[in-house]
Amino acid sequence: MTVFADLPVRAAPVRGALRLLRRPDLALAVLVLAVVVAAAAAPGVFTARDPLRGVPADRLRPPGPAHPFGTDYLGRDLYARVVHGAGESLRATVVAVLIALVVGTVLGLLAGFVGGAVDEVLMRIVDVLLAIPGLLLSLTVVTVLGFGTAQVAIAVGVAGVAGFARLSRSEVLRVRRTGYVEAARGAGVRWYGVLARHVLPNATGPIGALAALEFGTAVLAVSALSFLGFGAPPPTPEWGALVADGRNYLAGAWWLATMPGLVVAAVVLAANRIGRALEHTEEGT
Amino acid sequence: MRRRLRIGAAGGVLLAFAAAGCSNGTNGAASAGPPRPGGTLTLGIAINPECVDPQQAGANGEVNVARQLVDSLTDQDPRTGALRPWLATSWRSSADATRFTFHLRKGATFSDGTPVDAAALRANLDGIVRLGARSPIAGSYLAGYAGTTVDDPYTATVRFRTPSAQFLQATSTPSLGLLSPRSVAADPGGRCHGTRLVGSGPFVFSGYQQNQQVVLRKRSGYDWGSPLWRHHGAAYLDRIVFRVLPEPGVRTGAVQSHQVDAITDVQPSDEATLTKSGVTELIRANPGFVFSLYPNVSRAPLKDPVVRQAIQLGVNRREVVDTVLTRSYRPASSVLARSTPTYTDLSAKLAYDPAAARAALARDGWRAGAGGIRTKAGHALRVDVVFTATFNQSQQVLELVQQQLRAIGVDLRLRPTTPGELTSVQQAGTYDFSWGNLTRADPDILRTLFSTRFHNADRLTDSPLEKDLTAQAATLDPERRAALSARVQTALVAGGYAIPVFELTQVVGLGPTAHGIGFEASSRLQLHDAWTSR
């Protein structure tokens, strides 16, 4: 009986951060996300140009010193549009991940902790959600909800619920059988106390890693929906919409679709790298 | 009627062509030698033709296919707008434009062997009325149809309850093209995909694969073509393959690499690339109502004529064409395109004058507010425009107009919608501007759009235009019709009842193996004279 071996262990945050930054690829990923988040928070710091006002005489200029990402068909600075689009796209992504995280975790906790019929019913619903491809589910939801950034965020969030529910349920099942939970129950702590104080905190690690991975997926899904025209109405510069706008100009102005496309790719890769690292940190402890 | 009545929606936009100054209607075949009969012409088209039955087809891509299958009573000269005999050798109209008598040529047959005669004409017109909502365009041409009398086997009189001067031009359109009586009786849904779709045209239906292609075959023994065509007898081509290539970049690549002989719907952004790679452009401006913003005058702020007139002055049409379109397109110089019969040049009234627009708004009590958007009595000068991407460049055009209007203090919001949603929004009237064009080589298009008894694009209740619109429908005198049409055009522009922006143009990209492709007046591709040197 090694009762003490499965006691909750917490990695020292400072040590963890240092370890993350010793790896250059990971550092780069963190830097990319930090820059993008900063651009979303304060676009004015990154560019002084108006993302909505173009100079028709300067239209379709290739990337150069004056316009690092080139200009679009109305002569708008593409870099300014990508920077201002960060806020729009990231907000939708964060909302989507939060919806998936909160709803999914609550469902998983309930199913895992209560068990029995509740578990059966919730998990069969989750099975159905998992059976439908994520993007297809998002498309269906957004078609019902209508056009707009908030609608896109909800649609992407709904598609992510199932993954979080599955994971948090399995974590709860794992933690529930540990000695300290048994001990707490045995000591007469009420069920919600056990759930909140012992089960939830010790089930969060893998869920955090999944959230980081889900962030990358959600950036992609949000961009995909806005590419298809479900996002904010033009001329709002959402990343997916920028790629869609550039699609018809691929032959003559490659930068229109390529530049925002590269930014989306960089953010997705960075989020994936960080998610992977968190996963390994979890496994290491 | 529904489909037709959606301005700008996929089914409602009739893309048509008439002579543009730079093109004679068919591509030059000088270097390719004399036409060579035989072979297959492959055409890359932009949309899947959901319905190739001419009487039910609505979108341009559909009618381009359907046109080849049927003949019409008359043919319209693209250069002059005059009607020429085709299946009808002569015709006579009553003075009040309610009775039209057609004498049909003898010897023409449908491809199932039945003769094209007066009884067939009656069956077709009766059949279109029975199609009802399935036949949005043809049905509207027959509004007020009272019946057809067979006077003798080759003479028929078409009767209308109300004056219908537009009917003669309508007989030249593929929408009123004749099908075999057996076809008329067949299931309309099946006809859409070619089942029992039998016409008398130079090509017959051969195969349909959803989202892939439509194949037509030559009708051998065909000998009753329009006198406007270049050669008599059967068509040159053995087969035409319409290949569905929705992605503009794919269409462009397909014609550049000679996988197809020609493509329709060349995008403005691809024109330069295509011409550089040796693809010839065949360009034709659409007659009819130009691409315009249609104000919903039933609610504020567009109820206010001053606001509409200011917006009229605040749109820089030349900049739209120079920035997001190409030299193939023209800025609007009236609400009708130049190629439309009775077009009246109103370019002076449509000149860009932002200073005058700002002054007019200021006089009207609209004061500059936050973010440069004007306000009056606490309301910002904010208007939305509902649109579908029927024409691929619509969004770019509207984004530029949005930018132009912001300079005079008007906040134009873009509301992209699906065709289905657009219909319900338009019915509910919960929008400020709608957007689109409507093509027809006849001034009656003005009545279709603005009469309170037809589409009523502006949601007018007591229309100041109604009297002139009704009068032009009741006269067959070209001069009187032109005068009435000019009056309506002037009133529409001056009152800001439509904000015309640009004339739609069809751009076809021709590879080196495509020859003799032409356009007919009221609309679409004419492929009887087409041939291939492949």
| Closest chain B C-alpha to A72 CA, distance in angstroms | 10
Beta bridge partners of B109: B115
Contacts of range A270-274, beta carbons closer than 8 Å, 24 or more positions apart: A270/A28, A270/A29, A270/A30, A270/A32, A270/A33, A270/A36, A270/A216, A271/A29, A271/A33, A271/A212, A271/A213, A271/A215, A271/A216, A271/A219, A272/A213, A272/A216, A273/A25, A273/A26, A273/A29, A274/A26, A274/A29, A274/A30, A274/A33, A274/A212
In the block, residue with structure tokens 């034709």: B284
- B382 has a chain A CB within 8 A of its CB: no
Q: Are residues B324 and B210 in the same domain?
A: no
Candidates B273, B322, B392; nearest CB to A252: B273
Name B49's Cβ contacts closer than 8 Å, sequence gap at least 6: B57, B59, B61, B62, B64, B65, B66, B214, B242, B244
Domain count, chain B: 2
State how far the Cα of B523 lies from the Cα of B67, in Å rounded to an integer: 9
A197: which DSSP letter?
I
Which of A184, A183, A138 lies closest to A158 in space, CA to CA? Answer: A138
Out of A166-175, A245-254, B82-91, the most confident range is B82-91
- Which residues on B lie below 8 Å from A245 (Cβ)? 395-396
- B286 has a chain A CB within 8 A of its CB: no
CA dihedral (B291, B297, B303, B304) positive or negative: positive
CB atoms within 10 A of CB B429: 10
CATH code of residue B173: 3.40.190.10
C-beta separation of B97 from B165 below 8 A: yes
pLDDT average, residue stretch A179-194: 86
Interface contact flag, B396 A74, Cβ < 8 Å: yes
Which of A135, A160, A133, A155 lies closest to A144 in space, CA to CA? Answer: A155
Q: Are residues B487 and B373 in the same domain?
A: yes
Which of B322, B25, B51 lies closest to B208 in space, CA to CA? Answer: B51
Domain count, chain A: 1
Interface contact flag, B319 A56, Cβ < 8 Å: yes
**In this structure, what is the dihedral angle of CA atoms B526, B529, B533, B534, given to the nearest 10 degrees?**
40
B370: which DSSP letter?
G
- Which residues on B lie below 8 Å from A249 (Cβ)? 269
B9 part of a folded domain: no
A60 part of a folded domain: no
Name B200's Cβ contacts closer than 8 Å, sequence gap at least 6: B70, B71, B87, B108, B109, B110, B111, B116, B178, B180, B224
- Which residues on B lie below 8 Å from A74 (Cβ)? 323-324, 396, 399-400, 403
Can you read off the two tokens belonging to residue B431? Answer: 């929008």
Candidates B248, B270, B416; nearest CB to A147: B416
Q: What per-residue confidence (pLDDT) applies to B461?
A: 86
For residues A209 and B69, the model is more confident at B69
Domain range for B414: 288-503
Which of A97, A101, A123, A125 lies closest to A112 in space, CA to CA? Answer: A123
| Closest chain A C-alpha to B254 CA, distance in angstroms | 13
The residue among A52, A74, A145 with the most chain B CBs within 10 A of its CB, best to mutate, is A74
Q: What per-residue confidence (pLDDT) applies to A164?
A: 93
Out of A164-173, A225-234, B114-123, the most confident range is B114-123
Name A124's Cβ contacts closer than 8 Å, sequence gap at least 6: none
Q: Are residues B66 and B128 in the same domain?
A: yes
Q: What per-residue confidence (pLDDT) applies to A209?
A: 86
Can you read off the two tokens belonging to residue B254? Answer: 């397909």
Which of B309, B300, B337 lies closest to B459 in space, CA to CA? Answer: B300
Global ipTM: 0.79
CATH code of residue B416: 3.10.105.10
β-strand B145-152 against B155-160: which pairing, if any?
antiparallel
Q: Are residues B511 and B496 in the same domain?
A: no
| pTM of the complete model beyond 0.80 | yes
CATH code of residue A77: 1.10.3720.10
Split at pLDDT 50, 70, 90, the class of A16 is low
Can you read off the two tokens belonging to residue B234? Answer: 């059967």
C-beta separation of B170 from B91 below 8 A: no
B249, closest residue in chain A (CA to CA) = A248
A14 part of a folded domain: no
State how far the Cα of B533 lies from the Cα of B217, in Å rounded to an integer: 18
Residue B260 to residues B45, B70, B236, Cα–Cα distance (Å): 10, 25, 18
A55 part of a folded domain: no
For A72-117, the three-class secondary structure string (H helix, E strand, C coil) is CCCCCEHHHHHHHHHHHHHHHHHHHHHHHHHHHHHHHHHHHHHCHH
C-beta separation of B59 from B6 below 8 A: no
Can you read off the two tokens belonging to residue A213? Answer: 């991975």
Interface contact flag, B319 A59, Cβ < 8 Å: no
B264 part of a folded domain: yes
Q: Are residues B430 and B513 in the same domain?
A: no
Q: What per-residue confidence (pLDDT) applies to B523?
A: 59
C-beta separation of B418 from B142 below 8 A: no
B332: which DSSP letter?
-
Q: What per-residue confidence (pLDDT) applies to A13?
A: 58
Q: Are residues B444 and B311 in the same domain?
A: yes
Contacts of range B201-206, beta carbons closer than 8 Å, 24 or more positions apart: B201/B67, B201/B68, B201/B69, B201/B70, B201/B71, B201/B177, B202/B68, B202/B234, B202/B235, B202/B527, B202/B528, B203/B68, B203/B69, B203/B235, B203/B237, B203/B240, B203/B527, B204/B69, B204/B111, B205/B52, B205/B69, B206/B239
Q: What per-residue confidence (pLDDT) applies to A176?
A: 82
CB atoms within 10 A of CB B90: 11
Residue B181 to residues A119, B102, B114, Cα–Cα distance (Å): 65, 18, 8
C-beta separation of A77 from A51 below 8 A: yes
Split at pLDDT 50, 70, 90, the class of A18 is low
Q: Are residues B517 and B443 in the same domain?
A: no
Q: What is the pLDDT of residues A114-146, one digit of tens each?
A: 888 999 999 999 999 999 998 999 999 998 998
- Which residues on B lie below 8 Å from A247 (Cβ)? 249
Helix intervals (H) in B325-440: 354-363, 394-406, 419-428
Q: Are residues B430 and B516 in the same domain?
A: no
A243 part of a folded domain: yes
Candidates B270, B323, B414; nearest CB to A233: B414
Q: Are residues B184 and B133 in the same domain?
A: yes
**Angle, vertex CA B389, rays to CA B383 and CA B395, nearest 5:** 55
Beta bridge partners of B387: B416
Q: What per-residue confidence (pLDDT) applies to B22?
A: 36
Candidates B269, B406, B417; nearest CB to A249: B269
Q: Are residues B301 and B279 in the same domain?
A: no
Interface contact flag, A56 B416, Cβ < 8 Å: no
| Closest chain A C-alpha to B403 CA, distance in angstroms | 7
Interface contact flag, A251 B249, Cβ < 8 Å: yes
Interface contact flag, B269 A147, Cβ < 8 Å: no
Q: What is the pLDDT of residues A38-74, one digit of tens each?
A: 999 999 999 989 998 889 888 899 999 999 999 999 9
Q: Which residues of A touch B (CB under 8 A)?
A: 52-54, 56, 59, 73-75, 147, 229, 233-235, 245, 247-253
Q: What per-residue confidence (pLDDT) applies to B110?
A: 96
Domain range for A247: 23-45+70-284
B365 part of a folded domain: yes
Interface contact flag, A74 B392, Cβ < 8 Å: no
pLDDT average, residue stretch A102-109: 92
Residues 154-213 of chain B with CB under 8 A from chain A are none
Can you read off the two tokens belonging to residue A245? Answer: 């706008």
Q: What is the distance between the terminal CA atoms of chain B, rounded to a whole angstrom? A: 43
A126 part of a folded domain: yes
Q: Are residues B313 and B416 in the same domain?
A: yes
Q: Is the peptide bond prior to A51 cis by the omega test (within 30 degrees of 0)?
A: no
| Closest chain A C-alpha to B431 CA, distance in angstroms | 15
| Closest chain A C-alpha to B273 CA, distance in angstroms | 7
Which of B344, B322, B276 lies closest to B485 in space, CA to CA? Answer: B344
Can you read off the two tokens belonging to residue B445? Answer: 């298009």
Helix intervals (H) in B134-283: 136-141, 167-170, 181-185, 188-192, 248-256, 268-276
Low-confidence ranges of chain B (pLDDT < 50): 1-30
Q: Are residues B528 and B424 in the same domain?
A: no
Q: What is the pLDDT of residues A263-282, one digit of tens each?
A: 999 999 999 998 888 877 76
